[in-house]
Homo-oligomer: A and B are copies of this chain.
Amino acid sequence: MAETLQFIQFGLGPIGLQTVGYLLERSNVELEAAIDIDAVKVGQDVGVLLGCSDPLGVKVSDRAEEVLASTAADVVVLATLSSFAALEEQIMLCLQYGKNVISSCEELSFPWAADPQRAARIDAAARAAGVTVLGSGVNPGFAMDALPLLLSSACRRVDAIHIGRHQDAALRRLPFQQKIGAGLSLDTFAQQVENKRIRHVGFRESVGMIAHALGWQLERVTEEVKPAVAETDLASPFLQVKKGAAAGVLQTATGYLGDQPVITLELQAYLGHPRPRDFVSISGEPPLYSEVVGGFHGDIATCAMIANTVPLVRRAPAGLKTMLDVGLPSWFQGWRG
């Protein structure tokens, strides 16, 4: 008889809410409780927030500790903050109540890159509690690290690896178009790069995960963020871009082994990209080129990856783990104990 997978949702912003929706589409999966500090959401039924016709019978609470202390579910989907530092307290609270944690926080996908001390603290607490903590998502966590690494296992030798995500931002939502600086003058774009308001977070983590898995001791890692300059006037359903302004972003990270660039990550996201795709190009024996035509769907894939990885977190060994450690995720129709 199939057991039911019960989970607690901690954070009901767009990513959190969509992940809940994706999980509840599976058989034998149930939301036991929901936590958010947004006063507009507290007290509301999660079914209503999801736009369902019927309430789900689970109301949002802002009392995290009370919820964690009084629930049986052993896994928390944590989608509250992007900052790893700010997230530590919430993770520790979950661990205190013996919950496994899966989070969309980018830095948690390979936290030894950004903050090894914090990573060591969380790892120790997770081991002591006998549960797993994992950062997951499409990028970092999959498209530019886990997937290219799995592909590399078909190679006898890897000399260098080049990973690209090329996206046509015209197909995305307004917040994404704003995040990549579409429509900004080049001066404003440069200021926002300076303020780190335009920047994909996760390159450091992906480079760190790849280097760790391949066994490369990198000399240094460089990052660059530039505008993709519109060559003609462009328009999306949401905004206009004048010729000469920023149509989006070109971001690269490069990891060096000695003088050689051996890991290159390249994000191109702008209105009107002529050939959106996700690709992995490995130099080695044999060389290998793999492409997802059109690319992974940014909005769907982030939430799908977290939803699809929830079962792995529950059965993984205790500690702070990465997508390399917990087994191979896949879509699943339902939970089967």
Seen from chain A, the residues whose Cβ lies within 8 Å of a Cβ on chain B are: 22, 25, 27, 138, 142-143, 146-147, 149-158, 213-216, 284-286, 288-294, 296-297, 300-301, 303-305, 307-309, 317, 323-334, 336
Tell me whether A154 and B304 are in contact (CB under 8 A): yes
Complex contacts, A146 vs chain B, CB 8 Å: 150, 328
Complex contacts, A150 vs chain B, CB 8 Å: 146-147, 150, 328-330
Complex contacts, A308 vs chain B, CB 8 Å: 152-153, 155
Contacts A288-B296, A330-B214, A331-B158: A304 and B153 contacting too (C-beta < 8 A)? yes
Tell me whether B289 and A293 are in contact (CB under 8 A): yes
Tell me whether A215 and B289 are in contact (CB under 8 A): no
Contacts A300-B156, A336-B215: A331 and B288 contacting too (C-beta < 8 A)? no
Tell me whether A330 and B153 are in contact (CB under 8 A): yes
Complex contacts, A331 vs chain B, CB 8 Å: 152-153, 155-158, 214, 284
Closest 3 CB pairs of A and B: A149-B330, A215-B333, A154-B301
How far, in whole Å, are A1 and B324 apart by their CA atoms in the complex?
23
Complex contacts, A142 vs chain B, CB 8 Å: 153-154
